[in-house]
Structure 1
Amino acid sequence: MPALPTLDAESVTIARAAATELARLLPSTDALTVVEHDPASGPADDAVAVRAAFVGAVSADLLVVADQAVAEALAGTDATISVADALRPALDAATATLGAGVLDEARSAALAGGLEEEGVIAFALAGADGTPQAWFGLRMRQRPEAVPQQRGAAAPGAAQVSPLRLLHDVEMTLTAEIGRTKLPVRQVLELVPGTVLELDRAAGSLADVMVNGRLVARGEVVVVDEDYGIRITEIVGSENA
């Protein structure tokens, strides 16, 4: 087995970028934020962990513990897929930050201390209340001489079904935001009916469209059959969110 590299600042930066992209596409009912991993509040050793290997410009082993978050997102839908399949789009997004390469088949197994293994850079994915809902680990490896074919890949011309299609029936919360403001606690407590708050956006400006708390688009506020609506005018990429 090739020697593991030292956990330098560059490796940590790469791992955090991968964790951020994974959190962005993780099928969770809550918007998740990447925070430092505290082993004391980490998952149990018998928690379900999804592991996958990426071979390419930067090769790495990936580990995700998110069975509870995924189960809550899929609850009440017709999707009958495994945790590994549900996480595949998020794993694809995470490895996209590593450059060109091939992501191997994802497999589920007991965590068994995987986040604490030598060379693993681990992060927690916390919900709005700061409580970890999922965990991500990445271990950098030396680049092999050649990139192998993806294990289990279909033959050229064969029909393939995107893992993301399996999540099409999962409902996510969309909200429109026309502006924000900040107030000291004293003024918040003094709010009464009739109080006018000045927001940080000019009248007529585009509203932000949020998916589970993450900015994905901007649009104009319109009226549709006496209800408010949003006409999308701009899609916001992850690098601009």
Structure 2
Amino acid sequence: MIGSELAQQVAGDVAAVLPSAVPLAASVPQPGNEHVAAAFAGAVVAEVNGAQAGVVALLVGADLVNALASSPLGGLDLAAATQPALDTLASGLSLTAGAGAQAEPASVVATMAGPFTVVPLIGAGIDAAIVIQDRLLTPAVAPGFAAAPSAAPSAAPSGPTPGAAVPQLGHVAPVANRNGSTSSRGIEMLHGVVMEVTVELGRTRMTVRDLLALAPGAVLELDRAAGSPADLLVNGRLIARGEVVVVDEDFGLRITEVIDEAAAS
């Protein structure tokens, strides 16, 4: 059926961009049931819009959840880290994804509000899965899909082979935290995660009266002397300081000091 073919192709695209310490491959699509969330530690849900409107979701294992929580840059947001994967999922359905929202894995089944398809993403085990409402897999959602190039088998060497047993999500033990730690998977699974970096020149405090009185030409005095280094913040956490420079008519920051974890805290 074209719906299952589309689901597997989309899952293969998602596997290429989802943060993981090992290459992921799309397994065989299977009908969703109330047990699919049991093997996962985290979930992100997003609304999709276009020819149809609906909901899609990503289920992820404890390795990714724990790696984000224990990042040396501070706790990172699961929804933000997986947004590129959600965008890829929606794009494969000829739809557009809204911002993902973190959810409890057990709530995903109810969020689907009807029949849905699950495609496991296989790495060292069932490391993740995509969840798609069945009505989003109709040909009308992805016109011309039959003519689209099929995913290259070599792109997912660890995927299931013909005759191999298909992982059944409703009958597997949780793969999360198999060895009691994420150290063997490594922080390298986060290397491709896009972070928002902020440069802060200084701060000040103002009353609401003064804020309402602001007008073009007003000057705010910051709590930092002229010539002092600016702060580089990632996810609100101070990681470095530097001096503001101009690069091709744009502002830049030349790093002069990297803040160690003890100093930052």
| Structure holding more helix per residue | 2
Larger radius of gyration: 2
Question: Please, what TM-score do these two structures have when normalized by structure 2?
Answer: 0.44
